[in-house]
Amino acid sequence: MKVMKFGGTSVGKPERMAEIRKLITKGDEPKMVVLSALSGTTNSLTEISHALATGDRELAKQYIDALELHYQNFIVDLVKSEKWYQKAKDVLAEHFEFLNIILKISYSDALNKDILAQGELLSTKLFSIYLHEQNISHVWLAALDFMTIDPSGEPQVESIKIKLSQILEKYQDTDIFVTQGYICRNARGEVDNLKRGGSDYTASLVAAAIGASVCEIWTDIDGMHNNDPRIVKNTKPIKHLCFDEAAELAYFGAKILHPASIWPAQHFKFPVRLLNTMDPGAYGTLIESESDSEGVKAIAAKDFITAIKIKSTRMLLAYGFLRKIFEVFEKYKTSIDMVTTSEVAVSLTIDNDSYLPEIINELEMYGSIDVDREQTIVTIVGYHITKTENVLAKVFSSISEIPVRMVSFGGSQHNISILVSHEHKEKTMQLLNDGLFS
Ligand code: ADP
Ligand code: ASP
Ligand code: MG
């Protein structure tokens, strides 16, 4: 069986769903189809939730009505017959009734997760109705019946495997399954999710659980490009990446992949393919265990980084000192991306500043603290990049005009990371592109 995941733009229009139908009915291999919400839906649901959280029910109602109208128009073009149009209307009635009911309920984090789950439920139910009308035999599976996360938010791969195989056993003659990306249940049994962009993660977890031959991520671009195409001109698709390279790129901001979506493939040993729904013949990117070449492959950037410097007049690097500092971050479940040390100071970066005041408060015991917000980590990735001849010289001569705040080299053999102020991000990425790829 193979997993085929289609993202927001790939399901965002009725004609795109027709394209997906063609793709999932090709070939003999059974398919597990994982869908995201229609593009824009999760953003709208976030706005609804935010309006409710701030007590603005009127605004929330406006967002709900606008979203409902969007779906009403969508189903007019999705199905032809009265019978299936009526079924699609019933689906909308069910989910929009829910959204209207929550207007009367007091806001909580659990309710927020319930709201966010509506997008994937709607997209998969509507796609299933479309497939029924097209006489394509398939089974719709509720991800909430098998996708679970533990108390620290990590997916429970073994349990997912057991639950999913019990479900699949009931449908031995079925060739197409359709299920939701992104949504799951948490340790309290409530509806939860795998964070923004999480459908990629669902796809690779499901691929791990069913022992899939491949996990195909179908999106709106012909694979992983060598730089962020939203920012940099003349980017090109990369045909081949190894798991380490892809994982670094996803972690350091290449939006095409959820940051955690590679580890299941690496651990359970299945290839990942990034493919383009708009151009299904394009080769895309194949991600597998071996790398095909060494040296610079791609550049990515991660925004909303906060840099913290702890400066001490005392013996900063006396043993045990770094441990004490790291323990502060551990206590507040805040992970550190980059670290540099000198005789008198330690600089490090975090991407989640929810507990920044508490962290600073505790760090002040060890010295004076400087905080720089609005930073960006620009990462240059490639297999064994740190061993590549002259690579640092090329990187720094390309960006000689950019003030660099921190550099990390050698932490992994496959990346070089540079911290710059957000205002210099675009220029840094373009200059690196010109210097490293032209
Ligand atoms: P989906 O809705 O299918 O999950 P996403 O919007 O999450 O799609 O990811 C695809 C988008 O990622 C592309 O349209 C592109 O703008 C963006 N992107 C950012 N960096 C890269 C990169 N290095 N290569 C390809 N796409 C990238
Ligand atoms: N719909 C979710 C989001 O927009 C999950 C996904 O698309 O991967 O973040
Ligand atoms: Mg995505």
Let me know if 256 is exposed, middle or buried by CB neighbors in 10 A (0-12, 13-18, 19+).
buried
Same fold, 2-220 and 298-437: no
- CATH architecture of the domain 2-220 equals 3-Layer(aba) Sandwich (3.40)
Structural contact between residues 272 and 218, judged by C-beta atoms closer than 8 angstroms: no
Question: Burial code of 8-17, b = ≥16 C-beta within 10 A, e = fewer?
Answer: bbbbbebebb
- Give the pLDDT confidence score for residue 318 in this predicted structure: 67
- Give the pLDDT confidence score for residue 313 in this predicted structure: 63
Domain boundaries along the sequence of the chain: 2-220, 298-437
Residue with tokens 């193979």: 2
The minimum-distance atom of ligand 1 relative to the CA of 223 is 25
Residue whose CB lies within 8 A of the most ligand 2 atoms, among 6, 34, 196, for a mutation test: 196
Ligand sitting nearest the alpha carbon of 118:
2
Question: Burial code of 383-409, b = ≥16 C-beta within 10 A, e = fewer?
Answer: bebeeeeebeebbeebbeebebbbebb
Residue 200 Cα to ligand 3 middle (Å): 6
The answer to whether the CB of 239 is under 6 A from ligand 2 is no
Q: For 347-354, which contacts have Cβ atoms below 8 Å and span 24 or more sequence positions? A: 347/307, 347/308, 347/309, 347/310, 347/405, 347/406, 348/307, 348/308, 349/305, 349/306, 349/307, 349/308, 349/375, 349/377, 349/406, 349/419, 350/305, 350/306, 350/308, 351/302, 351/304, 351/305, 351/306, 353/306
- Give the pLDDT confidence score for residue 316 in this predicted structure: 56
Model confidence pLDDT, tens digit, residues 395-411: 999 999 999 999 999 88
- Give the pLDDT confidence score for residue 317 in this predicted structure: 57
- Give the pLDDT confidence score for residue 429 in this predicted structure: 98
The pair phi, psi for residue 379, each rounded to 5°, is -120, 135
Model confidence pLDDT, tens digit, residues 203-240: 999 999 999 999 999 999 999 999 999 999 989 999 99
Residue 280 Cα to ligand 3 middle (Å): 17
- Give the pLDDT confidence score for residue 250 in this predicted structure: 96
Task: Tell me the C-alpha distance between 307 and 300, whole Å.
Answer: 18
Residue whose CB lies within 8 A of the most ligand 1 atoms, among 196, 221, 235, 276, for a mutation test: 221
User: Among the CATH numbers 3.30.530.20, 3.30.413.10, 3.30.2130.10, 3.40.190.10, which is that of 298-437?
Assistant: 3.30.2130.10
Ligand sitting nearest the alpha carbon of 297:
1
- Give the pLDDT confidence score for residue 320 in this predicted structure: 78
Ranges of residues in the chain whose predicted pLDDT is under 50: none
**Structure tokens given for 15:** 């004609």
- Give the pLDDT confidence score for residue 319 in this predicted structure: 73
Please list every protein residue whose CB sits less than 6 Å from any atom of ligand 1. 7-10, 36, 197, 219-221, 224-225, 228-230, 254-256, 300
